[in-house]
Chains A and B, each alone.
Chain A
Amino acid sequence: MTTNERTLTKRDFTSDREVRWCPGCGDYAILATVQSLLAEVGAVPEKTVFISGIGCSSRFPYYMDTYGFHSIHGRAPTLATGLAITRPDLDIWIVTGDGDGLSIGGNHLMHTLRRNVNVNILLFNNEIYGLTKGQYSPTSPLGSTHKSTPMGSLDRPINPVSLALGVEATFVGRSIDTDRKHLTEVLKGAYEHRGSSFVEIYQNCNIFNDGAFAALKDPDKKDLNQIRLQAGEPITFGPDGERAVVAESDGSMSIVPTEEAGDRVVVHDPARDEPTTAFALSRLALNPTGPTPIGIFRDVDRPVYDDQLRAQVDAAKQQRGEGELTALLDSGNVWDVL
């Protein structure tokens, strides 16, 4: 997290490139929110780097007036890790999608999160492959019929938040492209968190998968389905908080009418070190078609990989003194020929 003495506006984070997403794409809203957020929190443009993979969302860096790297499919976390290790002074953001981050790049996502590299990962989940024109993705619901699955998809979808919690990511959040206020709040938390931050953003692809998140976005449905997580608050939702999330004896969670919940209502605590409760919360909705938690699931402090790696380098210098090349070569068994 860098801080800025200058007063900047959204324009200072907006590049001169024409944005080329499809009209109506959810990416526009996310871009605008991120640009405003960086100005608001006082981020420094030259200290900010956006790294992406391949896919619609991965064009993101071109539209930011910061440093940026549009890399190859699935590999953004790998570049980000090399940069984070060598450049502690930078704010590094990874922009990825459900195909880029969970399919071809799933391995890197998992390892980056478990190491707790100091990066912010934004996963734009539209439950579809957009750039390749409409094949099902790792988050598409089971049985999705798309170009490559005319008789329905056969593989069970990944719940990105469950995945991140499963590898003990230290910051895990979820928000919605067009809910500017909520998205800003979650991204702010990610920005302020040291270590890996993972934010799943439900993003509408109006061309190939329009309305995938209608349950959480339509004015007549969202109040029924958005479970807004607030630290320290009992988890209730719906008009007048009429429904509540309760813990079951087997460790899972379920939804009951608040009046029946009694003291079983779960009080949200993202700082809980043990990820099991947050994981159980994430299992309330396998796909966002009904009541679905959004907000910050987890936010804990743990040692950061790149900090520790640099600390080892510093400790080696302390213990052995700065390396001296002549001494290195002239070590072990040497002999003189006269």
Chain B
Amino acid sequence: MSDTSTAQRERIQLSNAVVRFAGDSGDGMQLTGDRFTTQTALAGNDLATLPDFPAEIRAPAGTLAGVSSFQLHFSDQDIHTPGDAPDVLVAMNPAALHKHLSALKPGGIVIVNTDAFTERNLQKAGYEESPLEDNTLTDYQLHEVPITELTLRALEGHIERGELNKKEAERCKNMLALGLVSWMYHRPIDETEGWLEDKFAAKPAIADANVTALRAGWNYGDTTEAFAFTYEVKAAKLAPGRYRNITGNQAMAYGLVAASVRSALPLFYGSYPITPASDILHELAKLKHFGVATYQAEDEIAAMGSVIGAAFGGSLAVTASSGPGIALKTEAMGLATITELPMLVIDVQRGGPSTGLPTKTEQSDLFQVLYGRNGEAPIPVLAAASPADCFHISLEAARIALTYRTPVVVLSDGYLANSAEPWMLPDIDELPDLTTAFSFTTEPNRADGSFVPFLRDEDTLARPWALPGTPGLEHRLGGIEKEEETGHISYDPANHHAMTEMRYARLERIGAQLPPLEVEDPDGDAEVLVIGWGSTLGPIQAACHQLRQRGRKVARVHLRHLAPLHPDLEEVLGRYRTVVCPENNMGQLAMLLRARTLVDVKSYDRVTGQPFAATELAAVIERYGWGEQA
């Protein structure tokens, strides 16, 4: 669809915009957001998304509990977060308005579906009076649009022809809303039209109805005079290359496949469905033609056990879960540690404890993966910092696991898992070559012609990876403490102490070869350092950017390796007058840093299930760095 007809409207140039779609769980808000994201990516903007949905698949319609939302921030600049406050809120019902209005920027645009503002829906949303009729919305630019009615009218012909019933027609209302917002921001909709035709290829009437509704939304914006302005956000100046949008879970799955290709090891993925990790399983199950074996186990423990078995057999073995599932895997992770087999355990964190907040993000499993095992059981822990980084962290985790023969934990979280960002496709040949990280042992390793399974490489302390099927190397592994070199059962006190020290020494070896920490300090004279890990990267980057614009000298460092820590960490932290550590937990990394470095790290903690806002962090850093009044 051409957008020439909007020429008579005033077109306002913006550097960036934040749009939030909110509606009932059944209103298709995630899909609407996904489509708007794709259209925006194709328009060349930098972008970041924040899907937010309830744990209930279909909470009672119209209630606050059932509200699902999708926020998109797009810009002509490099951006790091899905935006603090939306410029535009599309509210498909009163509950969506009630839940999200407070987030909207003062003076922001509200588009409401007036057809959903019935007495019953108002009641369910906790409104005593209609917010469209009192002064609730006086400070905003309100657009009352009968979205359901417009959709039904656009699809009159379809209904008359019996191609779909009224209920099915109503379901197209999200496409009408998408069409309208697309018109407002000059986003071409032809890609979505093609997508709808593909998605509903088996049901051409449904495809046609959705396309019709989408166009009707566009035309509504174009022909009514309700909208005086349209907005344009020009393409961002991204580094040259080929891009795609990618979510964290998708990037993780692709990263695992890449690690399999680059190590020439078959990928075995054993897991049990759990939010928000299941999409990794879904992605990998589609990629069997890469030789990927996916196994949906009977429970979390079985998934972990299957991964140990597959690692013993010589596969690149991986499992993923979220906090509750990792808790169940704990004992088997100890077995993986003591048997020194390479494998990856991915923890896509969510709010806890117990079932907690299944669909909300949190960083509160750091201590669980660092320390949540019986005995002294050190495991390397890495954390992805952005959706696209999930790809690269998979390869780094595989490198460490294969080189040092150890399980490795990779931390992601609900925010990274479901959020999307543009990603410049890497050159495959530039990815780490993992075939040099290991070799299978095929020959005896002692002068007398015998084989012992715990004779170590002097540099890496890795023990031999001798696969079942190799003649002459028959050996037994197990969870009982082993004698050094021979691997025989040993209850000898000195041996147990030595083996425990060795398991820690291996972590030190991993740390020793890490490159120096990369500190971002544009002027090189900052006195305040912000340190973070995981998905807080975006908000911290954006907050530092805001502070620097105000003249504050602030430096920033982000940890991808949490165990072992970089050897130069203490020296880096010691350089700054103040060190601030924001986390979506109750100060876990801050406690670790204080213990390890004796630096008086200032902790900022919030666990609301939502990522930090950039302005929120900027205020916190300002306060810690320069005092309240600065």
Instruction: List A residues at the B interface (Cβ < 8 Å).
Output: 15, 17, 45-47, 49, 51, 54, 61-62, 64-72, 75, 77-87, 89-90, 107-108, 110-111, 309-310, 312-313, 315-317, 319-323, 325-326, 328-338
* Interface presence of B477 (CB below 8 A): yes
- Chain A residues with CB under 8 Å of B295's CB are 81-82, 85, 309
What are the residues of chain A within 8 A of B426 when measuring CB–CB? Answer: 329
Whether B257 pairs with A62 at a CB distance below 8 angstroms is no
A88 to chain B, nearest CB (A): 10
CA distance A68 to B468 in the complex (A): 9
Q: Are B258 and A325 in contact (CB under 8 A)?
A: yes
Given contacts A49-B468, A78-B332, A82-B270, 12 further A-B contacts (CB under 8 A): A45-B474, A71-B478, A75-B332, A85-B268, A86-B268, A86-B293, A320-B289, A323-B289, A328-B290, A334-B244, A337-B44, A338-B240
Query: Is the Cβ of A107 less than 8 Å from the Cβ of B305?
Result: no
Q: A82-B270, A313-B291 are in contact. Are A67 and B468 (CB under 8 A)?
A: yes
Interface stretch among B16-24, B200-208, B306-314, B517-525?
Answer: B306-314
B162 at the interface (CB under 8 A from A): no
B298 adjacent to A337 (CB under 8 Å): no
Complex interface: chain A residues within 8 A of B478 (CB)? 61-62, 68-71
Q: How far is the CB of A96 from chain B (nearest CB, A)?
A: 13
**Complexed CA–CA distance, A47 and B315 (Å):** 16
Query: With contacts A46-B473, A67-B474, A81-B309 known, is A333 near B480, CB below 8 A?
Result: no
User: What are 12 sample pairs from A and B whose C-beta atoms fall under 8 A apart?
Assistant: A46-B470, A46-B471, A46-B474, A71-B478, A72-B479, A78-B306, A81-B305, A82-B309, A86-B310, A313-B291, A328-B290, A335-B44
Give every chain B residue within 8 A of A71 (Cβ-Cβ): 305, 308, 335, 478-479
Closest to A338 in B: B240
User: B425, A334: Cβ atoms under 8 Å?
Assistant: yes
Q: Is the CB of B305 within 8 A of A79?
A: yes
Bin chain B's interface residue count. 35 or more
Contact present for B242 and A330 (CB under 8 Å): yes
Q: Which residue of B lies closest to A58 (CB)?
A: B478
CB-based nearest A residue for B429: A326
Would A323 and B468 be within 8 Å (CB), given that A68-B477, A69-B477, A70-B478 are in contact? no
| Least CB distance, A46 to chain B, in whole angstroms | 5
Highest count of chain A CB atoms <10 Å: which of B191, B304, B312: B312
A83-B468 contact, Cβ under 8 Å, with A78-B309, A108-B302: yes
- Residues of B that sit less than 8 Å from A by CB: 38, 41-42, 44, 191, 238-245, 254, 257-258, 261, 266, 268, 270, 287-293, 295, 297-299, 301-315, 317, 331-332, 334-335, 339, 424-426, 428, 468-480, 488-489
Contact yes or no, A79 B308, CB < 8 A: yes
Q: Are B469 and A86 in contact (CB under 8 A)?
A: no
Chain B residues with CB below 8 A from A325, complex form: 257-258, 261, 290, 428
Contact A337–B240 (Cβ < 8 Å): yes
Chain B residues with CB under 8 A of A84: 309
| Known contacts A81-B306, A335-B42, A337-B238; is-contact A70 B477 (Cβ 8 Å) | yes
Instruction: Please judge, given known A-B contacts A62-B476, A316-B288, whether A335 and B310 are in contact too, CB under 8 Å.
Output: no
Cβ–Cβ contact A335 & B243, under 8 A? yes
Q: Which residues of B contact A310 (CB under 8 A)?
A: 293
Cβ-neighbour of B292 out of A15, A111, A313 (below 8 A):
A313
Query: Once bound together, how far apart are the Cα atoms of A68 and B479, in whole Å?
Result: 12
CB-CB under 8 A for A78 and B301, given A83-B309, A317-B291, A337-B239: yes
- B488: chain A residues at CB < 8 Å are 17
Residues of A within 8 A of B254 (CB): 328-329
- Checking A54, A70, A313, A329 against B293 with a beta-carbon cut-off of 8 angstroms, the contacting residue is A313
- Contact of B469 with A87 in the complex, beta carbons under 8 Å: yes
Tell me how far the C-beta of B344 lies from the nearest C-beta in chain A, rounded to whole angstroms.
14
Whole-angstrom CA separation of A66 from B191 in the bound complex: 59
When C-beta atoms are compared, the residue in chain A nearest to B305 turns out to be: A78
Are A80 and B309 in contact (CB-based, < 8 A)?
Answer: yes
Across the interface, do A83 and B312 meet the contact criterion of CB distance under 8 Å?
yes
Residues of B within 8 A of A70 (CB): 476-480
Q: Give, as a whole number of angstroms, the nearest-CB distance from B590 to chain A.
A: 34
A309–B270 Cα distance when bound, in Å, is 12
Query: Given contacts A82-B308, A309-B295, A325-B261, are A90 and B469 in contact (CB under 8 A)?
Result: yes
A46 and B309 contact, CB distance less than 8 A: no
Contact present for A316 and B289 (CB under 8 Å): yes
**Contacts A72-B335, A81-B295, A325-B428; A89 near B270 (Cβ below 8 A):** no
Q: CA of A86 to CA of B266 in the docked complex: distance in angstroms?
A: 8
A335 in contact with B41 (CB, 8 Å): yes
Among A71, A316, A332, find the residue whose CB has the most chain B CB atoms closer than 10 A: A71
CB–CB A336/B243 < 8 A: yes
CB nearest neighbor in B for A318: B289
